[in-house]
Structures are given as C-alpha cells and as structure tokens.
Chains A and B, each alone.
Chain A
Amino acid sequence: MNWFGWLQFAIYIFILLVLVKPLGLYMARVYQGERTFLALVLAPVERFFYRLASVKPEEEMNWRIYAGTLLVFNLIGLLFLYLLLRIQHVLSLNPQNFGPVSPDLAFNAAVSFTTNTNWQSYGGETTMSILSQTLGLTVQNFLSAATGLAVLVALIRGLVRHTTDKLGNFWVDLTRSTLYILLPLALILAVALVSQGVVQTFQPAAVVQTLDPTSGAVTQILPLGPAASQVAIKQLGTNGGGHFNVNSAHPFENPTPLSNFLEMLAILLIPAALTYTFGKMVGDTRQGWSILAAMTLLLVLMAGVAIWAESQGNPALASLGIDQSLGNMEGKEVRFGVAASALWATLTTAASNGSVNAMHDSFTPLGGLVPMWMMQLGEVIFGGVGSGLYGMLAFVVIAVFVAGLMVGRTPEYLGKKIEIYEMKMAALIVLIPVLTVLIGTAVALVLPAGRAGIFNAGPQGFSEVLYAYSSAGNNNGSAFAGLGANSVFYNATLGLAMLVARYALIVPVLAMAGSLARKKKVPESAGTLPTHTPLFIAWLIGVIVIVGALSFLPALALGPIVQQLLLGTGRLF
C-alpha cells in the first residue's frame, strides 16, 4: 500500500462532510413540513396517497399510536415479503425458473429486509426471481429505511416540543421520507451506477463463449437483472442486501473504483446529514455538529487501524516467497485494493449497512476486529438511517446522566430533565443488543446445530459465530461469510435476533420520545452541562467506548485478539 490509500480516505471524509449541511438542511425542511424544490412534482403524489389511504396529515399521534401503527405497517411488510418469496415460482419475472424460497430462509430474509438488517443467508443470483428482487427486497429497502427515519424524527420532536403528547403522524413521516428523501437520491445514484457498468435489465442471464476452452469451460452464464435500482437504495438506506451473493464485491454490482466511491459515500450520506437535520430541528446546529464530531473521530480512528492492518499483508504467507506489497489480498478485488476494501469494511459496520466489497472472513485478525467491534458498539457511529442517531441519542442521554451524577447536577439535555424513566429506556436501548449478541453467540456455540455451521477451524470459527450475532443483533447484515448460515438453526435464531434488535429498541425510543415531549422546558442555568463542547464530545466518545469495551472485550479476546497474538508465530488452524 502507499499514500494513495490514505489520500482516498481523506478525500472521502472531506466530501462526506461537505455534503452534510445541504442534505441535512433539506431533510429538516422535509420533516418540518416546509415546501422544498421537489414539491412541484411530489406534493400532488403525496396528497393523492393521503387521500386514497384516508390519512389526515395534520392529525398527530401520541407515542403509543405512533409505535402501534409502525409495528402494524412493518408486520404487513414482513408478511407480504415472506409470502412473495414462498410463491415466487408461480409468479412472473422468474427467467431462471427458481423454486420457492424454503420456509426458514424466507422467514430469515423477510425479517432481515424488514428490520433494515439485510443479512444474506441466500445468494441473490441463485435464489431470488426478478420479481422477488424488485417487488420484495427493493421495497423493504425503502420502507425499512423510512421507518428508521420516522422513529428518529419522532424522537427529535419529543426533544423539541414540551407539555404535549403528540409526536407527529407516522404515515406522513413514512411517506415523506420515501418520496422526498430516499426515492430522489436512489434514482440519481442508480443511474450513476449504471453508467459505471452496474447491470439494469429485466432480461435473463447472458450466455457467452469463453476464449480458452482448455480451461474446461466452453461457455459462461452471466446473471443479469435490475441490480442498479436495488444497489442504489441498499447503499443509501443502510440496508446492505445485495443483488448478488458476494454483494458489492461482484463486478456487476460494483464495477469500478468510481462506483465503489459512490457506493461508499451513499453508506454514510444520510446518517451523517441527519446530525445536521437534528441540530436544525432542535434549534441549535452546534448540537448536531458535536455528535457528528464524535462519530467522525471514532470512524477515522477505526478505519485507520483497519487500513493499516490490511496493508501489512498476511505474515502466515511470508515464507512462501511472494511479494505482499499489495497487502492482504485474499478475498479482495484488485480494482479496489486493500485501502478501499478496509475503508468500506469500516464504513459498512459503522453505519448498519452490512454491504461488503471484500470478504471480511479473510481479513487479518486486527482488520477483522474493527468491523466486528464497530457493530458491537451498537451501530451508533453514524449507524443506520435514523436508527444510528436515535441509538446515539440514547448514549447522549446516558453520558449526560452519568456526568450529572459525577458533579451533582440535575442531568438535562436540550432543556429537558433526564429522569429515571428516560434512563431506563436509554439503558434498554444500549443493553438489549449487547444481550442479544452475547446470548445468541453462547447458545450457538453450545448447540451442535450452531457448531455445525462453522467453516474455519480454531479461533476464526468462534469469530464467525460472534460476528454473525453481532451483525444480526445490531441490524448490520455483514458476515464472516464462511459460516454456513443457511440452516434452520441459524435462519431462525438470527431472524429472532434481528427482530429483537429492531423492535425491542424502537419501542423504548418512542416511549422516551413520548416522555420527553410531556416535560416542561427548563431554562438553561449555570448548572447546565453544555453538550456542544469538545469536552462533551470526548466524554461521549468515552462512554460509548467504555460500554462497548466492557461488554465485548472478553468475547473478542477469544477470537480476533488471540489470533492477532498468534500471527507470525507459525501456529495455524
């Protein structure tokens, strides 16, 4: 590796930060019901939707109704997707004549896409009909992201408003998120990706004659499909479920360094811009910038470690007389190289995206530890669309509360007193994923059905299981893909973990929003802890890292850490 890798990284961060304010401002206008430049086209569509669905946009909901409608809507999506996958063989747009998706796999995939996880127990090009890809998976890519956005906006309203029980209208937040934010961005990105070579067609696979018949293959079947439209939203909506088995490592899903850069940008674009939306909506943009600063600092640090680790190559191959100046290339594509692969791995796990452009299972121990730990921190370093920031705000509540205890002040955030109820909800939001990950891993390792899926021997096999539950238990979706996860045991338990990680968090978030909205605003006093200062940023980072480290260091010690210590000692598994 050379300094080009670091330059790519620096330019990436720069461009991302430049886009935060314009997009964040636009989203704030969308959620505050203000007119935007797209209203000319979209406002009539929006009104038509409300009229047909008999939604009264000005009718607001309390947190219970908001949560109830959200859960009902998500349940409908889940059932529809499950059914679609089960009967895809009798429906149209199935040019490769795939059979029905098996019940456990269909359950896993339906949960996976509805919860914004997009864990893939299936290979897209070998399982899913075109109809399933578009009418099923693409739809949930949009709707699960819009759901996350709606929850965040409700929480922000809880902070902004006072002495009310109204948090907004879920149908309006859902519709506006899809129409004004996700759809236009996806359309632009999809066309840009096609220009780079991402396929977009409803035609069946192309068959070509190969050049060298002595290699054994006379023909090659090239699976096509409407990939670009799905890839665009799977990157933007922090979904991550690819059109093809190897996701964005597939040349038809991510053909060039430029498509790779755009897809990386799309991973963090909305989560980053939402910090500005948040600051704008609470009337103090410094609050948003300070959260963005904490996220960015952690990201830069972790991506730096991953890029460095992967560029060192694999010491286990050192004695074979090969030139490893390109770094650890097992499971990576030449057009990206180690820098863009390690950077992607960090971004995709910082956000709960979970798409991959390299095989994480083949990363060096330290390089593999980074994505695993990023997920275990609770998907709050940018995190999922909407879900990242509401998770982060739970950490802010905890940080404010602990700081208040230390100095003997009443903890408050943005003029709202943080009391026992908020703390209970924040603790649930932080602890439920931790428990899901650790219990899931333990159960899988104890049961033969869990151990049966392990591919690599030794500590790497343990890491595969820990990674899987870290991914499902935080709605990420990436994998140490050696794990044979398409079994009834993993489809069921990982599906369950995804459901818990999504909905057992959304309900406390909305409950906290409801409680905050009911409170009075307390005026700022000399005793108020300012939450926009470098001191607070450092404190927030400290709280996140301490919770993440205390929860997962023992588990990590059995996997990537022990492997890092064994690296170069000649011990193999």
Chain B
Amino acid sequence: MQHQIRKNRMLHQLRPALVLFTLLTILTGSLYPLAVTGIAQVAYPDQANGSLVERDGVPVGSTLIGQAFSAPRYFWPRPSVTSNAPYTPFDAHALTGSSGSNLGPLSQMLVDTVQGRVEALQAADPGNLLPIPVDLVTASASGLDPHISVAAAYYQVPRVARLRGMAEADVTALVDRYTEGRSFGFLGEPRVNVLLLNLALDKIK
C-alpha cells in the first residue's frame, strides 16, 4: 500500500519532468542563443562574425587567428601543431581543428622538436646571436596563436629588414606600432599580432 502510493506519486511527476524539460530546452537552447546572436549581430557585427581582415576587398584572415608564414621576408608566427599543416583552424576533409602538442615537460620529442626549431631559426639568420625567445620555438595551446611576444618580434627584425631592403629602425618602429600592451595596464602580456604586422609590411614594400 505504502509502496503503491509512492509509485503513484512518482508517476505523477512524469508530466512536470517532460513539460519542464521541453520548456527549458526551448528557452535555453533556442531563445537564448538566438537572443545573443541578435544582440551580437546588431551591436558587434565584426566581432560576432570572426573579426575578418580584408585587403582590396578580399578577406585575407582574422585578426584573432594566426596564419602560417614561411617566406623569410615575413615575420614568422609561433610553431603550430595543427594537422595536417600548421595554422589549420579547420580541415573539412580530415576533420581536424585547433590543437596543442600535449608533449610533457620531460618529453624527448619536445626537446628534439624545440632543438630543430632553434636550428631552423639560426639557419635563416646566421648572424643573429641573440638568445631565441621561448615563444618562437614552442607550440601554442590552440595552434592558432595570432601573437608573438615583443622579444620574438625584435629577434626577427634584422632578417626581415635585410630581405626587404629596409632600415632596421623602420622595421622596429613598425613592430612598436603594432605592439599591444597589457589591458588596463595589468591583464595579459604585451604582444604583436603577426598577421597585422605582415600586412603593414606588405603595404610598405
């Protein structure tokens, strides 16, 4: 008898369970994302659609997503381990996207890989004897890091200036112009957006 009552009471709860689930799903799964999208597309259309950068009317990237650069006349970004090529935010065929290396701190592969990157950088600019900033030889978390540190940009100034036939001081000035400081003076780290810097370089020469 007691058991019967309890069972009935639970059955009695089935309707609220199904109806509330449906209502809350519509509210949080449709109306809420639609409302945010509506506000976003009106108030912040550029940001909401990927912060795209255009050159001569053609979208050439996003200010937020790094791009692969291998020509020595460009500033190089951080190493990226997205597959199958660096800086691949989405590969529709292989279905791969953002990714870090996940190599542990005592990984032989990590040390070998970093050593290879050090040698490649030195080979590209043999006269440069400065210590290489660590962000230029380590892979980012996303594989899409759009930034390098200010030191990493300065390190590359001699190479870029030489290959573009520019004065080092001019290139340094450009780096400084594209350096973003800490937000409100204390949040995050100073950094240089590689895509924007290279776009500015191309505009000059």
Contact = CB atoms under 8 A, between A and B. Distances in A.
A138 B29 contact: yes
B67 A210 contact: yes
Q: Main secondary structure on chain B at its contact with chain A?
A: mixed
B17 A209 contact: no
B156 interface: no
Contacts, number: 418
B105 A210 contact: no
Nearest to A214: B71
B152 to A, nearest CB: 8
Interface string B29-59: 1101101110111011001111110000011
B187 A261 contact: yes
Interface string B134-161: 1101111111111111010000000000
Nearest to A482: B102
B174 interface: no
Interface string B1-39: 000001001100111111111011101111011011101
Contact of A226 (B27, B36, B198): B36
Contacts of A356: 141
A53 B24 CA distance: 11
Interface string B168-186: 0000000000000011101
Nearest to B191: A334
A255 B193 CA distance: 12
A72 interface: yes
The residue among B29, B85, B86 with the most chain A CB atoms within 10 A of its own CB is B29
B85 to A, nearest CB: 6
B135 A178 contact: no
Nearest to A366: B105
Given A245-B97, A573-B106, A202 B65 contact: no
Given A65-B13, A460-B104, A135 B139 contact: no
Contact of A197 (B20, B28, B47, B149): B47
B98 A221 contact: no
B188 A336 contact: yes
A201 B37 contact: yes
The residue among A205, A252, A361 with the most chain B CB atoms within 10 A of its own CB is A252
Across chains A and B, which 3 residue pairs bring their CB atoms closest together, nearest first? A257-B188, A460-B104, A482-B102
Interface of A: 4, 7-8, 11, 49, 52-55, 64-65, 68-69, 72-73, 76-77, 80, 96, 123-127, 134-136, 138-139, 141-143, 171, 174-175, 178, 183, 186-187, 190-191, 194-203, 205-212, 214-217, 220-224, 226, 228-230, 232-233, 244-246, 249-252, 255-258, 260-261, 313-314, 316-317, 320-337, 340-341, 356-359, 361-365, 368, 455-460, 463, 480-482, 563, 566-567, 571-573
16 contacts: A77-B21, A143-B24, A195-B43, A211-B67, A217-B88, A222-B65, A246-B141, A313-B134, A322-B134, A334-B145, A336-B189, A459-B106, A460-B107, A566-B106, A567-B106, A572-B111
